[in-house]
């Protein structure tokens, strides 16, 4: 992993909010439309909002672009190409930077993938989620294992870099079941895996089932055991964790996600997208209108779909830096935290957490969560804030 040199980079996040179906565990800003989406109209709106963000950020050099969703692989390659052209007109986009597209196996076809590659995408992140047909049906996925394997193979053939996601700690999942599935995933993976524990989020179909007692997830002890075995297996197989849920071969970490975790700037564009931008007045937080058609109307009328914009205080920035930075194995630069907050980390609280084995120092100026601390990260952050 490239060292944190104090310059986290400048990322551009593009949110395509449409999906073919809503997964029962998903609380992301995704929407199903039963009529074709007017992609030309949305593409023009993306270009206008990009121009608005450029006016806020000033001239910047982009270090990564991430197209998320929703299901961006439902976009026509021409739509994506037009949006990426708008990014390149607004900011300097050097050749060869990481450009990631999220894709679902059920929306994959060779011609579309080749079109994305021609548009500039050089990394794809596949929403596989399970390598078991029964579990895929439980998770509400539209693909089966055969389709997932085909999509993974196609992605490896077309794109220089490929990652895919799996969800574990599913109801009834044993340690042996997960170890077998995880090893199979590592055999298939190119250089990166994102491995997430199933969480029950308010507003999802799974939340309603769980509240009604019709869905039982692993208890905390079993979930912790699954997490620990995940760390052990991936490390042994050459894809160690570099963040709570992300694993990569050395040098293959997600450049874009590292910008988030190192608390860099990023422009969030599209319905529901969030951003952090350093302006002449200070660092601002932006959030866009979540409903796609409402966002579209706002952009066409006002040039942007921002529904919330606020100036962040130094203390708020320090809290965000801590929250994001402790997720990563490299930890947090405490001198940067102090410069933002105007104070030093409380020595007694830090010593308390060190004694508990939840955090540790790296040299004189960095602090990171230990593997045990990663299991209770919210507590660690709250104690240090």
Band (124; pLDDT cuts 50, 70, 90): very high
Neighbouring-strand partners of residue 310: 285
User: What are the sequence ranges of the domains in the chain?
Assistant: 10-260, 315-384
The Cα 321–Cα 304 span in angstroms is 27
The CATH superfamily assigned to 10-260 is Aldolase class I (3.20.20.70)
Q: What percent of the chain has pLDDT over 90?
A: 93
What is the per-residue pLDDT for 107? 74
What is the per-residue pLDDT for 189? 82
pLDDT in tens, 303-357: 999 999 999 999 999 999 999 999 999 999 999 999 999 999 999 999 999 999 9
Mean pLDDT for all residues in the chain: 94
The answer, yes or no, to whether the previous bond of 70 is cis (omega within 30 of 0) is yes
What is the per-residue pLDDT for 190? 78
What is the per-residue pLDDT for 232? 96
pLDDT in tens, 67-79: 999 999 999 999 9
* For residue 106, pLDDT beyond 90: no
Helical residues (DSSP H) of 128-219, grouped into ranges? 133-138, 145-158, 175-188, 205-211
The DSSP-derived string for 44-92 is HHHHHHHHHHHHHH-S-B--EEEEEES-GGGS-HHHHHHHHHHHHHHSB
* For residue 110, pLDDT beyond 80: no
CATH class of 315-384: mainly alpha
Supply the pTM of this predicted model.
Answer: 0.95
Give the helix/strand (H/E) hosting 5: none
Neighbouring-strand partners of residue 360: 368
The Cα 17–Cα 20 span in angstroms is 10
pLDDT in tens, 138-179: 999 999 999 999 999 999 999 999 999 999 999 999 999 999
Kindly report which listed range (203-217, 247-261, 264-278, 284-298) carries the lowest average pLDDT score: 203-217
Instruction: Identify the DSSP state of 328.
Output: B
Q: What percent of the chain has pLDDT over 70?
A: 100
pLDDT in tens, 274-297: 999 999 899 999 999 999 999 999
Q: Write the CA distances from 314 to 117, 284, 340, 355, integer angstroms.
A: 40, 11, 5, 29
Burial of 292 (0-12, 13-18, 19+ CB in 10 A): buried
What is the per-residue pLDDT for 5? 74
The Cα 43–Cα 83 span in angstroms is 6
What is the per-residue pLDDT for 108? 77
Q: CA torsion 368→372→377→383, rounded to 10°? A: -80
The dihedrals phi and psi of 57, each to the nearest 5 degrees, come to -85, -25
What is the per-residue pLDDT for 219? 92
pLDDT in tens, 4-27: 777 899 999 999 999 999 999 998
pLDDT in tens, 21-64: 999 999 899 999 999 999 999 999 999 999 999 999 999 999 99
């Amino acid at each position: 992993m490239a060292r944190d040199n104090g310059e986290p980079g400048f990322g551009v996040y593009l949110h395509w909010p449409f999906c073919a179906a809503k997964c029962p565990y998903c609380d992301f800003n995704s929407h199903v439309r039963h009529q074709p989406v007017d992609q030309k109209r949305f593409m023009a709106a993306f270009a206008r909002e990009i121009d608005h963000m450029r006016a806020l950020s000033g001239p910047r050099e982009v270090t990564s672009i991430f197209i998320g969703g929703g299901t961006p692989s439902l976009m026509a390659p021409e739509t994506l190409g037009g949006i990426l052209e708008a990014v390149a007109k607004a900011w300097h986009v050097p050749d060869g930077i990481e450009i990631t597209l999220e894709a679902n196996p059920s929306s994959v076809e060779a011609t579309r993938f080749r079109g994305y590659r021609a548009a500039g995408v050089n990394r794809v992140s596949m929403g596989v989620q399970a390598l078991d047909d029964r579990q895929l049906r439980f998770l509400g996925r539209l693909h089966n294992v055969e389709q997932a394997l085909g999509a993974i193979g196609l992605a490896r053939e077309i794109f220089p870099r490929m990652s895919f996601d799996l969800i574990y700690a599913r109801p009834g999942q044993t340690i042996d079941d997960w170890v077998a599935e995880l090893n199979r995933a590592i055999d298939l993976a190119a250089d990166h895996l994102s491995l997430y524990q199933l969480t029950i989020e308010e507003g999802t179909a799974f939340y309603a089932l769980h509240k009604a007692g019709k869905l039982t997830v692993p208890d905390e002890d079993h979930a912790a055991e699954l997490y620990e075995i995940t760390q052990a297996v991936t490390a042994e197989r050459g894809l160690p964790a570099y963040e709570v849920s992300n694993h990569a071969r050395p040098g293959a970490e997600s450049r874009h996600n590292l910008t988030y975790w190192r608390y860099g700037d990023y422009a969030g564009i599209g319905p529901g997208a969030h951003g952090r931008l350093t302006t002449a007045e200070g660092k601002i937080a932006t959030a866009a209108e979540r409903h796609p058609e409402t966002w579209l109307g706002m952009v066409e009328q006002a040039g942007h779909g921002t529904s919330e914009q606020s100036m962040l205080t130094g203390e708020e920035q320090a809290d965000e830096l801590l929250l994001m930075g402790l997720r990563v194995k490299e930890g947090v630069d405490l001198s940067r935290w102090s410069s933002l907050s105007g104070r030093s980390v409380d020595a007694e609280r830090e010593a308390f957490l060190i004694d508990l084995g939840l955090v540790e120092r790296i040299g004189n100026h960095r602090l990171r969560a230990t593997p045990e601390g990663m299991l209770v990260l919210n507590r660690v952050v709250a104690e240090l804030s």
